[in-house]
Structure 1
Amino acid sequence: MTTADAQTPPPIPAVPRATVRLQLRAGFGFDAVRALVPYFAALGISHVYASPFLRARSGSAHGYDIIDHAALNPEIGDEAAFDALVAALHAHGLGLILDFVPNHMGVGGDDNPWWLDVLEWGRASPYAPFFDINWEAGADGRLLLPVLGDQYGAVLERGELVLSLAEGAFSVRYFAHRFPLCLKEYPRLLRLAAETVEAGDDRQRLGGLATAFAALDPGGSTVQRQALLRREADELKSRLARLVEESAPVRAAIEGMIAQINGRPDDPASFQDLHGLLERQSYRVAFWRVAADEINYRRFFDVNELAGLRMERPDLFELSHQLVFRLIGEGKLQGLRIDHIDGLYDPRAYCEQLQTRAAYLTDRPGAAAPAGSGAARLSEPLYVVVEKILARHEHLREEWPVAGTTGYEFMVMAAGLYVDPAAEAALTETYEQFLGREAPYEEMLLEAKRLILARNLSAELNVLARELHGIAQQSWASRDHTLTGIRRALTDIVAQFQVYRTYVTGEQVADEDRRYIDWAVGRARKAAAAAVDLSVYDFVAAALTTDLVRDGRPGYRAEDVARFAMKAQQLTGPVMAKSVEDTLFYRYARLVSLNEVGGDPDRFGVSPAAFHRANQERLRRWPHQLVTLATHDHKRGADTRVRIDVLSELPEEWGRRVVRWSRMNRLKKREIEGRPAPGRNDEYLLYQTLAGAWPLHLDPADADGLAALADRVHGYMLKAVRESKYRSNWAMPDTGYEEALERFVRAILDPERSAAFLEDMAGFVALIAPAGAVNGLSQVLLTLTSPGVPDLYQGTEYWDFSLVDPDNRRDPDWAALAASLRAEVPAEELLAHWRDGRIKQHVWATGLRLRCDDPALFALGDYLPVETVGPQADRVMAFLRRREGRLALTVAPRLVLPLLGPGAERPAVPAEAWADTALVLPDPGGITALRDLLTGATLPLPGDGRLPVGRLLAPLPVALLVGG
């Protein structure tokens, strides 16, 4: 090899071999990631998959509140730091994938120039069409701004709304919020000030500015005309700013005028002028609680500070993607993860538009075409995955030009393998007996959906109902459907949806979409009150499917019906997400490891056969999508989840323990309004949380360690009770209940007050932790060898006993991770010290290096389930990846608690416990021996192809064997 060859950087694969998800923020930006690139390369990562790094709201911990798509986030780093990171990545053969946010922007405050322009210019703003605002939905045609911390009148009379002038621009301020005034107010304000200036040059200049502002015509109908108006207005504002700076009399006059308008808290009548000023704006400032009923801009779920974008507009698409497209064209960005794809008006059209632009950028003279090893090729110009939650029976639409999803469904399937379905009845009984009532999942799900529609997303439902009522009035066939009836039918139907959304357009309705809608409508009709006119359900169904204009019915405007159907689809997803993930998952706690993003708590476990089918389906349809065990959005860390799964292997013991703990801790509870605090459901959730998240090295007498755990668990439980919306919530927190909950958590984790409970809890964790660790290693191996692209969440190479965010976004110990990867430690020693997590990193690193050495085997190789026979056959997952004479055999145990033996201290199943259980390999194609990459041992392949499981899993609890 020549010196030049040695310095040639390795190519970046067009299809990722493996990604690492990183959460960037202030303090962990481009420079910090650059320092970690050698570690990621050594680990076997091919692409860094970064959280949003475009300009977000100052102090953002997640980056999803974008305020400028055309700039990098300065808190993460400038362009020089970004380029240095890219150079480091490329030097090691790594690519970069960006988590991109097309659905919404951060609004409110004083930092989004597009939003501020809309406030100042109203509907005339060229940016007004970018935001999904329904101006007609407001009672007075204005944009509702639900930002006030109290009733508008109270805020006004306290003097918290303050008129001000800064840099020649008039605004009303409310703490961090700024509400620009429309230009038509400037002449009156300036003339009021001029009246108090002595006659002369200053007064003349101020009056001249008033006249000049009055001459501006803000009604320009084109973007070009609006741009000219901006220049004229900005010039006048600059002149005003200079005059105020240069002339003390003018400055004093304007300050006096502002003081007069701002009023005095001791004189409510003095705020009349300020109130009138605000009433003449294109917006209406309001108490934040008003949003649920009256907001008229689409939000990200029910977050007022995140306003939905109309990304279907070509001009917005180009403007919001200009930086991303430049980075793609320059070869600095190799892929995109599209956040909240279901929030878009037409997801398929968006993805097609994205790939069309990418094709021009990556396939033209001088462009940076994707590099690759040739092992696998993209079917589209750009690697794109979408954040999409699929129902159990749902598939990602194959016509979408993407590589697949971000892998929630794999995470759920993998964790479900370690749940024993035989325990379902016992755990249900334990749970309901602890609660003292039944907990019917389907009824609770419907109740949660109706709650969200009635409380959190009522305004969005109202907008849709009014829009559909307007359509009903277009034809005599539906004129008698009332607004109330339509709203009720919409509520009933949306509450019955079993998928996040359908994808009906004005041009087509797929058969599966029609099935989902028909099913929901049928369930809604069946549940409707006897006195209800059922024909309204048929009308709503015909609108949702756009059959109103497909069946030759008279009077309906096709564009109105299509718009309604597509806007309705943007509501069903948030309803599902808020009711399931953010409500029911904290209300229904039978086995909380099942309560995961993309999961179905009513589905008790996953069989090996179902897992194999899912893998085969992924290889056929989406071979390059992500497969993951942990994300920035997960409810519980990967190892927390599968340790809780172990409860299904000892349901009777769990039932005894939870009753005992409740008895031990009963005196630490309080009673609030005749009800215990915490309540039974929260207490049951708490015990599962402790069992799952208890640190492996925590001694029950370690006061400092327990205090740290109490901080984490209290933060989690506070979020849980607010999300559940039973005893508290985010909108109206019950401080009494929350204080009682915190006292309870801290009391039971206080070694001086709860020594007996802590000893018992620690003993129970010691009982289940080795089996949980086997599960943890097993699911890692499955992730590494299943079809798809393994996605590693930051720091979860070690044990991941995290809880929901922000707990799952704590900083990893990067130095320790890098040091243990460099060290060459025998596998047996890693197993002996399994609690430190290095054994898990060893499995990750071994699997990733195999993917580096043989990418085609995993990107294109066949997937063959391996038959298992013998007394413990159901406790083993095994499959082959095979291509062109090479193979990799995965052996991953499950449900091993009964095999570990009493008092097991290590996650190692004795060989004799497997008895005669064996794998029966298909024709090995001439291969006579297999090498276990995790241990280095070589195993001869018997002529009959039978491999004893006890022998395979004697050194380590999992095995990855290769041949050929």
Structure 2
Amino acid sequence: MRQRALPKPRIPSATYRLQFNAQFSFDQAREIVGYLSELGISDLYASSYLQAKPGSIHGYDVVNQTLLNREVGGEQSYQALMDELKRHGMGHILDFVPNHMCVESEENLWWMDVLENGPSSLNAHFFDIDWAPVKKELTDKVLLPFLGDQYGRVLERGELKLSYREGAFSIDYYGMHIPIEPKSTLEILSLNQERLQEQFSDDAPALLEYFSIVTSLLHLPVATERDPELKEERHREKEIIKKRLDRLCREEPRVARHLEESIAVFNGTLGDRHSFDLLDRLLQNQCYRLSFWRVATEEINYRRFFDINALAAIRMEDPAVFNQTHQLLFRLIREGKVTGVRIDHVDGLYDPLGYLEKLQESCFKELAGEQADYRGTVEENPGYRPFYVAVEKILMKGEQLPKEWPVFGSTGYDFLNQVNGIFVDAEQGKAFERIYDHFLGYHSDFTELMYEKKKLVLQVSLSGEANMLGHRLNNISERDRLTRDFTLNSLVRVISEVIACFPVYRTYVVPGTVRERDVQYIEAAVGKAQRKNPALNASIFEFLRDVLLLRFPETADEADRVAWLDFAMHFQQITGPVMAKGLEDTTFYVYNRLASLNEVGGMPGRFGTTLAAFHGQSMERLKNTPHAMITTATHDTKRGEDVRTRIDALSEMPDEWEETLKRWSRLNRDKEVQVEGQRIPTHHKEYLLYQTLLGAWPLGEMDPQQYESFLGRIREYLIKASREAKTHTSWISPNQPYEEALLRFVDAILARGGPNEFLDDFIPFQKRIARFGLFNSLSQLLLKMVSPGCPDFYQGTELWDLTLVDPDNRRPVDYQVRLKALAGLKARERDLGPRELVRQLVESRENGWIKLYTIYRVLNFRKANRETLEFGEYLPLEAQGARAGNICAFLRRGAGKTVVAAVPRMLSSLAPEPGQLPLGEVWLDSLLVLDGAAGHYRNVITDEELETVDHAGRTALSLAQLFATAPVALLEKR
């Protein structure tokens, strides 16, 4: 009997991310598959399209992972999309969300079951709920912080409505239907029972059935029941009771009318506060506690996705949860429809390694057969991974993906920041710090600011999580006489301080193993926190450190070890959200020395990246994760990829930027608004606004409608940026006078139709910055397409991407424009040839066709030369001459081919004059050195032929010749 061949992962050559929602369906995606294939894309990379909350625009608010999202399309349209992908030989990568689910929809049947039945729910294991929290009133209850005001006010305004549908009762609140615990419905059925009896004879079947239902409810196991058999009984009997009540109400109108009257009494009378007592008492007896949404900050007792109450974390470490939530995914993998997955927010999982190993094993069995031996296969084939998996993981400086993870790499934020950094003049960091501090009027220290903002997030958004950790640690401390005197408050304080000092998103301690790198991170965080808080008891810090590092005392028994490990694992799940909220969603909107550095995965305290560091990082990626995604834009980035490259250009001209900044501030001083004695905007917000305008200003002239649209986008962005900064307004407490004043300033400085000195001065400078930015963008683009890794493109970015943070970057994409553009480019290529076409496209670069054409030429070359560009060695190249510092170049060699990539950088010194391009003579006599690679080359983009020359004993190419037509070059050796 022949042995079945091992499943081989499909490795993408280039991916294209699509955002599916009601406005972009499977059918619309099918229509552009041919276009993407022509462009050179190998794999369609989709946002989650599993069943999400109705109206979802992003798909991360999943309510059922076992169904396709009906708003995106059904099985038929999905199959048609898969057939079209197969016809073009394309793969399909799906964004899968294992960490959380939306709990603001009754379509989440698992959550609804928990709300109805509490700890006795058959799905109670599904969610990460603390049934015995610090607040005793929440014992065996789930806090539901969904109310728009304080509970009592909402109740007495009649906004909470008891209702009945098909045998079941619920509380309705603005579209939400929250189930009533079945046993507690006795209070409803027992109300005015005498009136119902008066309408029937004592032996009437309907009345007897009614009393029988009441008796069944009396004997129903309670909602706090943990015994498996009794839980099963409760689940079975409650459904039978519902069906009986539904049938009775349909068959006997008098019973239905009686229930209607009882419900009306429970729902109270506006103005009579005591009339709501019945409903209040009923709500006290539920498996949940309704509360004002602000209460979640301190009292939440279920783990969330960051601080979003509507997204509850699920316990993926539970095998039953894993199997249930992956049913559809594994079917699609088995059928060959999904050929890769992107795992969202892997750091939120209890045990990322365990999850990823289980994922790969399950994929292996789906592809090789249930009886296939995955463990044995991996042991015989070290490093074997049967399925393409990439993880969304933010890597800090010097951090790498854990080598033991069975994945092909991250989704590319590390590359995004690395490549962006080489277009920032690292030598001007001190100058920009001086400019920034002088404009603000105080010194802004990034590291200290990040620490403070992480503490702020713990205080205003995630203190409930810190309290839960403190409660767990307090229980541990109480078990040892050496630590029992540590107070709960001091433990919570120390936990918060250590989290605020944590240098990475999270550690990966697992049972029996603490990586050396994680020891260093924990020791560093505890040490820094202790130094910052000399007044706190040092032994508490030491205790926390020992627990996190699983340094058990000699007296520890098995229960102690389990408690210590559980605390360490939960601690790891919280450091990531605090880092993300404190850094990405707060500090990034406060510290704006150079806004292009404020990107997911970035550390704006570092000003730029050296070429040596960039090359080193590329070689490291080739060695460890050659198939990792590398990207320059995602749905989560703070600015469009071409917005960043414009702002990068400012770094080259600190003196001019300083003078321009002062001049604009002076011109706009009379447009400032005073609110309660404070100038608005603050210098901090004004500094960010000018950078944002420079980066996002549309190309070409705008008609009035386009201008209003742009102004609206800027207004929305500034409000979001201000609320995220949490200095003068916030999402939790919007400061309306401040926000209105800020918008009045924006409207005033951007007013058209009359004299505007600011715009007159701004436009010429912006056009110059935009010119530098466009060429920076083309350089960045080529580097992404030929660097080690799999280049990923976010929807619509094949033309210039001048979007801002979401939701701006999730606006619908006009694919008809792109389809027609590519068809037009191919026709012109046939008529003119690549060289003349590129020359014309450079001249008319504002329409973005030069970007589209470069992608088309390079990705198709990449597709035809995959082995060279995926596995070929990576050799940095040096340049000589006056422009040597203005180029980034490297050589890829393998599979019998040699490929050279070269791009310009630091354009303000290379082509500073208006109209001057980084082409031809601006390169003077500078050379690209190609020692050991002499010969004849073809430029993949232009089809130009070049020959190396000998210069002072070294093999080289003239940069003036190399960049004669196109501003970037990709050469293949003939």
> Which amino acid is the alignment partner of residue 149 of structure 2?
D
1:848 aligns with 2:853: no
CA 1:325/1:910 → structure 2, altered by over 3 Å: closer, same or farther?
closer
C-alpha deviation, 1:13, in angstroms: 7.7
Deviation of 1:263 (Å): 1.5
2:57 aligned residue: 61
- Runs of 5+ unmatched residues, structure 1: 1-10, 370-376
In structure 1, give the amino acid aligned to 2:788.
P
Query: What's 2:132 paired with?
Result: 136
**Matched-pair contact (CA < 8 Å) for 2:474–2:491:** yes
- For residue 384 of structure 1, give the secondary structure of its aligned residue in structure 2: strand
1:862 aligns to what? Answer: 873
Q: CA deviation at 1:222?
A: 6.2
For the pair 1:792 / 2:796, whether they are aligned, the reply is no
Report the CA distance between 1:365 and its aligned residue: 9.1
What is the 5 A alignment of 1:574-653? 574-653=577-656
Deviations along 1:48-83, one digit per CA (max 9) or x if unpaired, are 000000000000010000000100000001111111
User: What are the residue-to-residue correspondences of 1:811-960 with 2, within 5 Å?
Assistant: 811-823=812-824, 824=826, 825=828, 826-904=837-915, 908-924=917-933, 928-943=935-950, 944-960=954-970
Structure 1 residue 175: Cα displacement = 1.6
Q: Secondary structure at the match of 1:196?
A: helix
Cα distance in 1 between the residues matched to 2:91 and 2:893: 27
Q: For each residue in 1:228-257, what CA deviation from the matched residue of structure 2 results, as whole angstroms up to 9, or x when unmatched? A: 543432232122122223322112211111
The one-letter code of the counterpart of 1:655 is E
Distance 1:46 1:223 in 2: 49
**Offset of 1:187 from its aligned partner?**
3.1
Residues 621-770 of structure 1 mapped to structure 2, 5 A cutoff = 621-698=624-701, 702-752=703-753, 755-770=756-771
Identity of aligned residues (%): 44
Deviations 1:877-910 (A, max 9, x none): 11111113311110011101122132126xx224
Q: Deviations over 1:170-194 (max 9, x none)?
A: 1122222222111212334223254
1:161: which partner in 2? 160
Range that drifts further, 613-622 or 142-151: 142-151
What secondary structure, in the 3-state scheme, does the structure 2 residue paired with 1:70 have?
Answer: strand
Q: Which of 205, 208, 216 pairs up with 1:204? A: 208
* Correspondence for 1:469: 474
- The structure-2 alpha-carbon separation of the partners of 1:583 and 1:365, relative to structure 1 and needing over 3 Å to count, comes to closer
DSSP 3-state at the match of 1:882: strand
Q: Aligned letter for 1:915?
A: L
Shift of 1:115: 0.7
Report which stretch shifted further, 936-945 or 399-408. Answer: 936-945
- Distance in 2, Cα, partners of 1:189 & 1:911: 85
Structure 1 partner of 2:377: none
Q: Single out whichever of 358-367 and 686-695 deviates more from structure 2.
A: 358-367
The Cα shift of 1:423 comes to 1.8
Contact persistence 2:931–2:956 (CA under 8 A)? no
Report if the CA contact (8 A) 2:91-2:338 is conserved.
yes
Amino acid at match of 2:803: S
Q: Deviations over 1:851-874 (max 9, x none)?
A: 111111111111111121222211
> In the TM superposition, what whole-angstrom CA distance separates every residue of 1:730-764 from its partner, at most 9, and x where no partner exists?
01100111111112112222113563211211111
Matches within 5 A, 1:164-563: 164-192=163-191, 194-197=193-196, 198-200=199-201, 201=204, 202-218=206-222, 221=226, 226-227=231-232, 229-364=234-369, 379-530=384-535, 532-548=536-552, 557-563=560-566
Separation of aligned partners in 1, 2:925 and 2:401? 41
* Aligned position for 2:832: none
Q: What residue identity is the alignment partner of 1:232? A: E
Aligned to 2:378: none
Find the aligned partners of 2:946 and 2:695 in 1 and give their Cα distance: 36
User: What TM-score, normalized by structure 2, do the two folds share?
Assistant: 0.94
CA distance in 1, matches of 2:760, 2:704: 13
* Aligned-partner SS, 1:105: strand
2:82 to 79, 86, 108: 86
Contact 2:166 2:246 in 1 (8 A): yes
Q: Find the aligned partners of 1:436 and 1:346 in 2 and give their Cα distance.
A: 46
Equivalent-residue separation in structure 1 for 2:928 and 2:234 (angstroms): 76
Name the CA distance, whole Å, in 2 between partners of 1:533 and 1:753.
65
Q: 1:586 to 1:360 in 2, by over 3 A?
A: same
Which residue of structure 2 aligns with residue 7 of structure 1? none
C-alpha distance in 2 between matches for 1:13 and 1:799: 33
Spell out, residue by residue over 1:503-533, the C-alpha distance to the aligned partner (whole angstroms, 9 max, x if none).
Answer: 1122110000000000011111111133x22
Aligned to 2:66: 70
What TM-score does the superposition give when structure 1 sets the normalisation length? 0.95
**Could you tell me how far apart the structure 1 residues matched to 2:685 and 2:144 are?**
35
Aligned to 1:497, the other structure's residue is in SS state: coil
CA contact (8 A) 1:193 1:254 kept: no
Amino acid at match of 1:247: E
Preserved CA contact (<8 Å) 2:902 2:969: yes
Larger mean Cα displacement after TM superposition, 258-267 or 218-227: 218-227
For the residue of structure 1 that corresponds to 2:658, the secondary structure is helix
1:963 lines up with 2:970 in the alignment: no
Q: Tell me if structure 1 keeps the 8 A contact 2:928–2:956.
A: yes
- The more displaced of 187-196 and 331-340 is 187-196
Bigger CA drift: 594-603 or 908-917?
Answer: 908-917
Per-residue CA distance 1:523-570 (angstroms, 9 max, x = gap): 11111133x221110000001111135x66579710000000000001
Shift of 1:577: 0.3
> Does the 8 A contact of 2:9 with 2:387 survive in 1?
no
Q: CA separation of 1:184/1:698 partners in 2, compared to 1, >3 Å: closer, same or farther?
A: same
CA distance in 2, matches of 1:298, 1:78: 32
Q: Give ranges in structure 2 of 5+ residues lacking alignment.
A: 1-6, 375-381, 829-836
Specify the alignment match of 1:373 in structure 2: none
- Opposite residue 875 of structure 1, the aligned amino acid is N
State the SS of the aligned residue for 1:643.
helix
Contact 2:184 2:286 in 1 (8 A): no
Partners of 2:219 and 2:770 in 1: how far apart?
A: 76
Cα-to-partner distance string for 1:478-525 (whole Å, 9 max, x where unaligned) = 111111211111111111101000011221100000000000111111
Counterpart of 1:931 in structure 2: which amino acid? R
Q: Secondary structure at the match of 1:548?
A: coil
Q: Are 1:426 and 1:651, in contact at CA under 8 Å, matched by a contact in 2? A: yes
What secondary structure is seen at the aligned counterpart in 1 of 2:163? Answer: strand
Choose the corresponding residue for 1:101, options 86, 97, 107. 97
Deviation at 1:157, TM superposition (A): 1.2
Secondary structure of the corresponding residue to residue 571 of structure 1: helix
Letter in 2 for 1:795: G
Q: Distance in 2 between matches of 1:706 and 1:12?
A: 51
Is the CA contact (8 Å cut-off) linking 1:389 and 1:598 kept in structure 2? yes
How many correspondences in the alignment? Answer: 939
In the alignment, the residues of structure 2 paired with residue 892 and residue 306 of structure 1 have an alpha-carbon distance, to the nearest angstrom, of 44
Query: For residues 193 and 247 of structure 1, what CA distance do their matches in structure 2 show?
Result: 17
2:786 counterpart letter in structure 1: T
Provide the residue aligned with 2:834 in structure 1: none
- Could you say what secondary structure the match of 2:190 adopts? helix
Helix, strand or coil for the counterpart of 2:274? helix
Partner of 1:5: none
> Could you say which residue in structure 2 is the equivalent of 1:45?
41
